[in-house]
Structure 1
Amino acid sequence: MASKTVSDSKSADRTTPPPLPAPLAVAVADSHTHLDMQSGTPAESLARAASVGVTTVVQVGCDVAGSRWAAELAAEFEAVHAAVALHPNEAPRLVLGDPDGWSGQKRTPGGPPALDAALAEIDALAALPHVKAVGETGLDYFRTGPEGVDIQKESFRRHIEIAKRHGKALVIHDRDAHQDVIDLLLKEGAPERTVFHCYSGDAAMAEVCAEHGWYLSFAGPVTFKANQPLRDALAVTPLDRVLIETDAPFLTPHPYRGRPNAPYLIPVTLRSMAETLGLHEDELATAVAENTARAFGY
């Protein structure tokens, strides 16, 4: 048998799930994950996470089908809470047939009625008791060009209204759109419980968010060596507004960057964050657990 090449070995490593980390002594929640995009069954993923102290997850929808699935999963598993929404890139895809949306799937243009119909479904799902949040919604200028900006803003406004009307948390996706996201939140009036998913701003923005009582959820990038500005943002965030997430299967923390992410890797990110903050991991875990329950109302 021929020996493996170096490239074969690296390729295999990138598809191999990282090992289980040491369990946390204080149970925490993964505030943002996509179990529908991960390998294995949801039951297997939840059991693996629980084995290391991650006993609750927020399953996040990015379109109507994914939001339905999230709501169904939350109804089935006590450890799952659902968030439902159209991803910022989904709205332009519905209206324009934009092929560069969050999933890269081409969609036939449907115009404003298609967006109205999709938002009506999100509204209905948001009324369910096991749906704890409206999101991920917001603005993403990385994938959607100028022609989609106004559509994204309209979708974001309507998600804000849905969240407030149903008394649910708002989960924000903000990519390359920091100031516009903040401006729109202030203009429309942010829900009482607003969460910046995978926070990517700097320390100055974190201080603005803190002034308004918004929650900042940190993911794998906070562990990357080059991301000192993100750690600076974490350092100025009030401890009672800090959340943690995987955004799995994306954004795997160091030292497993590039390999599949999953909720069971939360302890890796939490320990890195505790080091940044100069806290014992149990103290940070206790705060994160309390914050997540308060932010999502469970």
Structure 2
Amino acid sequence: MSRSKRREAPPDPEPLSPVIDAHTHLAACGGRDAASVAAILDHAEAVGVRGVVTVADDMVDARWAVAAAEWDDRAWAATALHPTHAGDLNDETAAELRAMAVHPRVVAVGETGLDYYWLDKSDDCAPKSVQHESFRWHIDLAKEVGKPLMIHNREADRDLLDVLADEGAPETVIMHCFSGDEAIARECVERGYVLSFSGTVSFANAASLQAAARVVPDELLLVETDAPFLTPHPFRGAPNQSYVLPYTVRALADIRGTDATELAAHLYDNSRRVYRLALPDQ
């Protein structure tokens, strides 16, 4: 596929309703004012995506996420410092994040966790010790405000699970864009964590991840775009948005050997329960 072809947005999928995009980045998709957010969500709703959780990487992103959730009642926010930005945690940002965490439109503390992939690839990536300190702070914040903890984990499976065990996990832990193997998935399931799968589960080279997706019980499963990243097969490399979500739901249904409409219903109910969203029954 040519580079120009890869940059074309995927066509609209056949509608699949209802579903919730459990993790997206509206600002990075161009949603930086009320009109652009509404346009993204109108497009998504046209194919059955009834709402999204828009997620922060840094303080600027966190402010955008809260704003989007205030502009449109189909959006909710999750706010935190991404582990690569863990060095930005100080008294001032901690106070602002704590205030955001109690906002009624903020439904999770995240994305936080550990990212070892970027340690030796980016001069701006926070070192391990700083990531661990920030991660523990966010764990405690989630427990303090009684909201789910949304986890970012990249190449840090064992350390991340050990920190959660040592610090004491909050009632609800969401493993965003789950990337582990079957053994890690089983350990997360045993702990009662929620596993959220993105378009990566549909990739041709994702056999290990697909095996993991098969062992997660229906009630611990979420689906997400992580837009504008991780566009599912066969559109890998193209720009992603929440309207693309039904492709991933159908791929996940095929992997799990279940009906896509039934899986969508489970995912919708799980999103409502996990994030405590005020939405009608499907």
**TM norm. shorter chain > 0.5:** yes
What stretches of structure 2 of length at least 5 have no aligned partner?
278-282
SS in 1 for 2:90: helix
Amino acid at match of 1:47: D
Distance 2:194 2:217 in 1: 9
Among candidates 93, 101, 106, match of residue 126 of structure 1: 101
Distance 1:11 1:236 in 2: 36
Matched residue, 1:103: none
After superposition, residues 4-19 of structure 1 pair within 5 angstroms as: 10-19=2-11
Matched residue, 2:240: 261
Amino acid at match of 2:210: R
After superposition, residues 268-287 of structure 1 pair within 5 angstroms as: 268-287=247-266
Matched residue, 1:5: none
CA deviations 1:127-146 (Å, max 9, x no partner) are: 11110000000000011259
Residue 295 of structure 1: how far off its partner (Å): 1.2
1:22 aligns with 2:14: yes
CA deviations 1:94-145 (Å, max 9, x no partner) are: 3xxxxxxxxxxxxxxxxxxx62322221111001111000000000001125
Distance 2:218 2:118 in 1: 32
SS in 1 for 2:109: strand
SS in 2 for 1:250: coil
1:247 aligns with 2:226: yes
Matched residue, 2:280: none
Residue 164 of structure 1: how far off its partner (Å): 0.7
Among candidates 191, 199, 202, match of residue 223 of structure 1: 202
Q: Is the 8 A contact 1:62 1:87 kept in 2?
A: yes
Distance 2:3 2:153 in 1: 31
Residue 83 of structure 1: how far off its partner (Å): 0.1
Q: Is the 8 A contact 1:20 1:52 kept in 2?
A: yes
Q: How big is the alpha-carbon RMSD for the aligned residues of Structure 1 and Structure 2?
A: 1.4
Structure number with greater Rg is: 1
Matched residue, 2:57: 62
After superposition, residues 99-178 of structure 1 pair within 5 angstroms as: 115-145=90-120, 148-178=127-157
Residue 238 of structure 1: how far off its partner (Å): 0.9
SS in 2 for 1:89: helix
Q: Is the 8 A contact 1:193 1:296 kept in 2?
A: no
Number of aligned residue pairs: give it.
Answer: 269
Matched residue, 1:238: 217
Amino acid at match of 2:107: K
Q: Is the 8 A contact 1:139 1:177 kept in 2?
A: yes
Residue 147 of structure 1: how far off its partner (Å): 7.1
Residue 14 of structure 1: how far off its partner (Å): 2.2
CA deviations 1:219-261 (Å, max 9, x no partner) are: 0110001101101001001111010000000000000001000
1:44 aligns with 2:39: yes
Q: Is the 8 A contact 1:91 1:115 kept in 2?
A: no
Among candidates 73, 80, 84, match of residue 79 of structure 2: 84
Amino acid at match of 1:55: R
Q: Is the 8 A contact 2:86 2:126 kept in 1?
A: no
Q: Is the 8 A contact 2:13 2:247 kept in 1?
A: yes
Amino acid at match of 2:24: T
Distance 2:126 2:11 in 1: 43
SS in 1 for 2:104: coil
Distance 2:99 2:59 in 1: 11
Distance 2:41 2:102 in 1: 25
Distance 2:118 2:51 in 1: 31
Distance 2:5 2:99 in 1: 42
Percent sequence identity is: 45
SS in 2 for 1:174: strand
